[in-house]
Amino acid sequence: MIDVRENDFSIDEVVENTRKPEMGAIALFLGTVRNFSRGKAVERLEFESYEGLDVEKLEEVRKETIDRFGVTDVSIIHRIGTLQVGENIVVIVVGSAHRDEAFKGCRYAIDRLKEIVPIWKKEFFEGGSYWVGEEEAMDRESMAKDTRVSMVDISQKELSLRTAIAEGFAILAPETVEAIRLQKTKKGDVLSVSETAGILAAKKTWDLIPLCHQIPLSSVGVSFEFLEDRVKAVCEVTATYSTGVEMEALVGVTTALLSVWDMVKYLEKDEDGQYPTSRLEGIQVTEKRKSVVE
C-alpha cells in the first residue's frame, strides 16, 4: 500500500492492508505535526511533492526495505497540502516474521524516504515561514558577522557504503553529435577521452572544491548516450566513507561534458567564432544511496 494524498489516512486500515498470516511482528512509524521547531512555535506545515515521481520513489523505498531486511511487506502513505498541529503526516508499516527485521526495516524506510522521495516541507510560524533545509538562508545576518569557513568534522560519523549518480547534457548540433558517434572528429575518440576526463576529475574533487573531503573512491563510472541534438553523460561514484559523494559525481559528469565540448568545439563555432547554441544543461544528482557497512 503506497500512496501520496491530501486527505488523512486510517492507521488501522493501513495495518490491515499490510498484515499477512506469515507475519509475527508489525512495526509502525507515525509522523505528526508538532507545535514547536527550531526554537519557534509552529502554526502549520505545508507539503509539496513531485507528482508521479513521489509514488515511484516510495515504491523504491518499499522494494529496498524488503530486499535489504527480508521483511514480508511495507506500506507507506505520505500526506501533502496544509497540515495543522497534531495532524498525521506519514505512516510506515513494516511486517515481518520477526520483530528485529520489522524494527530495522521501519527505521530504514523513514530514513530512506527523507533521502530520496521528492516531498518538501515548509514550516509556518508567527511572522514568517521557510522551507526545511534552508535554515542557512534564515540566518544571513549572523553569517555576515562571521565569515569564517571550515570543513565539516566527520570524524565521529560511521562508515557507510555511499553511491551518487549525476547526469547532464551537452547541447550540440545534430551534425556534431553524428560526427562523435562515427568517431570522425579531428581530436580522435571523443567519448574515450571524455570518459577518462570525468573519472580523473571525480578523483580530484577535493582539490577543486575547497571544503570537500579527500574521499577514497571505490569506483567511478562514466557513460554516454547519443540523442538527436545532445550527448547525455552519466557519472556514478561509490565509496565507503563517512560523507557522501554527490560532489564527486557532479564534478565527474560536468568535466566529461566539458571534454566532449572541447573536442568538438571547432564544429560548433559560427562564422564569428562564437557558440550560439552550444551549452551544458540539466546537470543534477539523480540518485544517492547509503547503506550501513556490516
Does 73 qualify as catalytic in the annotation?
no
| Cα–Cα distance, 176 to 138 (Å, whole number) | 46
| Cα–Cα distance, 187 to 194 (Å, whole number) | 11
Query: Residue 153: which residues within 8 A CB-CB, separation 6 or more?
Result: none
The catalytic residue among 3, 54, 139, 262 is 262
Q: Take residue 53 and report the three cell numbers written for it.
A: 515521481
| Cα–Cα distance, 144 to 142 (Å, whole number) | 5
Span between the terminal Cα atoms of the chain, in Å: 30
For residues 61 and 116, is the Cβ–Cβ distance under 8 A? yes
For residues 65 and 108, is the Cβ–Cβ distance under 8 A? yes
CA-closest candidate to residue 185, choices 273, 257, 261: 261
Distances (CA, A) of 162 to 38, 76, 241: 29, 24, 7
Q: How many residues does the chain have?
A: 294
Query: Residue 191: which residues within 8 A CB-CB, separation 6 or more?
Result: 180, 224, 260
> Which residue, chain included where needed, has cell 509522523?
31
Active site residues: 262
